[in-house]
Amino acid sequence: MRSLFLVWRYMAAHRGKSAILVVCIALTAYLPLTVHALLREFERDWTRRAASTPLVAGAKGSRFDLALHALYFRAQPPGTILERDIDDLRAQGLGTVIPLHSRYTAQKTPVVGTTLDYFGFRGLDIADGDGLAMLGDCVVGARAARDLEIGPGDRILTDPENVFDVSGTQPLHLRVVGVLAESGTADDSAIFVDIKTAWVVAGIGHGHMDLRSEEADDAVLRREENRIVANAALENHIEIGAENVASFHFHGERGDMPVTAAIVVPPDGKAAAILRGRYQSRESVVQVLVPREVVGEMLALLLRARAILDANVLLVAGSTVLFLILVIALSLRLRKAELEIMFHLGCARLTVARLVALELLFVLMGGLAVASVLVAATVRLAPILLGGSVVP
């Protein structure tokens, strides 16, 4: 106890030196501890999301892009498949097929076209408002609703694909009908619409005034027996409501409509293996992959990068230890007169060594305590600092 008291009084009398040593230890420990904590959260979120998604189907190409697109709606898919490919997957009778169309955004937030099966599969519930009921409706993830400050009854305009292309698809006003309960996943940062609404956003479907009405005379180029040809004055509706929803239609066959990815939920492992085998053994534009395996490969790459970072941290830690040894050596030299007085008073050399060791222990404990607080705060604030969850 006396040794502890002496060390405490000495450190209190030399606050500046003690504070500098504590900060050096804290900063040295902060980086590796934070990286390991964030990577642990990152790995846990990725693994949980991937493990909850049995199979993903999409265009052949980069497996990584397809998995990230289907799981997080962030990466661009390697290509698009068609609705007839989805019908072919369903015809296999080996599981539920949930199509996805996510190529557009609204205020930089992904707009995901899907079916009602997706909400049941992900366990998503409506926290405020209602679910999808009509063309043009959308439900918003909890985090997206907070960031965009929107809720049931509001409107949100989709982003144009190319602001310099005046002939491109027109933005569409989406009607917010509900907000999803927070799930802690990528679904919190997305806007969900019916897949037909996504096709309208893509410009494949549109609505306009009835060309047979008198109001449309200025937009009619010529009238034929079974056909009416419109001119450039014909304007498409940019908002879908009860008064004009009947005018919306699609050009082309349903089987030709694009789908960027699909989630396949087989009833068991055997059905999953059969489905994968069928699409691996034949010439097809569709690939079926297991997200857990793809994510495992990506995490393996991250672990390699972490090993390099850990090696660098060891070098920094080593330099910090050398710095501490230098500071202690200089401190002992400056305290030479003080130590000689302690010897004359009968203090043993072992006691002096114990005092120095206790001082170093206090500095290490203080530095690690500060580093732990900083790491905990960083992990807690990571979703805010990164604009979302730890995952992309």
DSSP secondary structure letters along 84-137: HHHHHHHHTTSSEEEEEEEEEEETTEEEEEE-HHHHHHHT--EEEE----STTE
Mean pLDDT, the chain, whole residue set = 78
| 119 and 25 share one domain | no
| 302 and 262 share one domain | no
Give the three-state DSSP class for 234: coil
231 inside domain: no
Q: Which of 219, 255, 213 is nearest to 236 (CA)?
A: 219
| 163 and 124 share one domain | yes
**How would you class 307 by CB atoms within 10 Å of its CB: exposed for 0-12, middle for 13-18, buried for 19 or more?**
exposed
- Among residues 267, 289, 311, the one where a domain terminates is 289
Q: How far is CA 314 from CA 29, 307, 317, 318, 341, in A?
A: 10, 11, 5, 6, 39
Measured distance CA(256)–CA(127) in Å, rounded: 35
213 inside domain: no
Measured distance CA(94)–CA(269) in Å, rounded: 10
User: Could you list the residue range(s) of the whole structural domain that residue 371 is in?
Assistant: 2-46+298-385
| 113 and 261 share one domain | yes
Q: Spell out, as residue ranges, where the chain has pLDDT lower than 70.
A: 1-3, 6-7, 10, 14, 161-170, 205-250, 252, 281-282, 339, 342, 345-349, 351-352, 382-392
What pLDDT, on the 0 to 100 scale, is given for residue 244? 60
DSSP 168: S
What pLDDT, on the 0 to 100 scale, is given for residue 211? 44
| 279 and 136 share one domain | yes
| 197 and 77 share one domain | yes
> Residues with Cβ < 8 Å from 313, sequence gap 6 or more?
31, 32
Measured distance CA(278)–CA(233) in Å, rounded: 50
| 70 and 95 share one domain | yes
| 203 and 62 share one domain | yes
| 37 and 124 share one domain | no
**CB-based contact 73:186 (threshold 8 Å):** yes
Measured distance CA(22)–CA(363) in Å, rounded: 5
